[in-house]
Each structure stands twice: as structure tokens, then as C-alpha cells.
Amino acid sequence: DIVMTQSPDSLAVSLGERATISCRSSQSLLYSSNDKNYLAWYQQKPGQPPKLLIYWASTRESGVPDRFSGSGSGTDFTLTISSLQAEDVAVYYCQHYYNTPPTFGQGTKLEIK
């Protein structure tokens, strides 16, 4: 199975500042045939299911604010929140879908400093 490792485990950022979360995979998620990275990002708030933010490593899901962006390729990926809002407090997960089984990172808890 592909192992997904996120860093840091927790992060405190001031309102309006940038938040950056990293995700590393144990093997490349870049499929050479179509030059796509098979990685998604989710946001989960307490008592709720995860919510899809980003897929194909950098494509924002419809309705997701443009302060959320994804980048990276191969084995190293980043989720960036350009200007942290109070409603962004949550746990964030990366997930690969390169093969079966799809696996998730352990999560990064984002809080307000």
C-alpha cells in the first residue's frame, strides 16, 4: 500500500496569514501517460464527514474558495491557504488514488494562533 505522510501534525496560524500543509507519498503519484498526479485534499470539521477541496493535486472542487490551492508533483505535495479565515479551522487530509487501496494521510490539525 502507498503510505501518505503529512507534516506537521498540527499547525497554528494567525488570521489572514498563510497556512501550508505538506503531504508526502511513499511512491510517485504522477502517472506519466497523462501527466496527472493522483492526489486529493480534504477538510474535516468536528462531527462532519471530510469535504473534498482539491483533486488532481491542484484542481479546486466547485464551490471551494480560491484561497485554497494545491501544488506539487511526484511524491511531494502542498495544500496552501493563502489567507486564513476563522472557518478554516479543521483537520486536513491528503489521499492518493493512484491504485487500490486508496489511502489517506494521518491528518494535520489547523488552529488559529
Q: Measured from the CB of residue 101, what is the shortest distance to other proteins in angstroms?
A: 5
Residues forming a β-bridge with 52: 42
Q: Are 104 and 94 in contact (CB under 8 A)?
A: yes
Q: Are 59 and 53 in contact (CB under 8 A)?
A: no
Of residues 13 and 43, the one with the C-beta less far from other proteins: 43
Residues of this chain that bind other proteins (CB under 8 A) = 33-34, 36, 40, 42, 49-52, 55, 61, 93, 95, 97, 99-107
Between 35 and 113, whose beta carbon lies closer to other proteins?
A: 35
User: Cβ closer to other proteins: 33 or 86?
Assistant: 33
| Beta strand 30-31 pairing with 10-13 | unpaired
- Min separation Cβ 111 and other proteins, Å: 18
Work out how close the CB of 2 gets to other proteins at its nearest, in angstroms, rounded to a whole number: 12
Of residues 107, 61, 71, 65, the one with CA closest to residue 83: 65
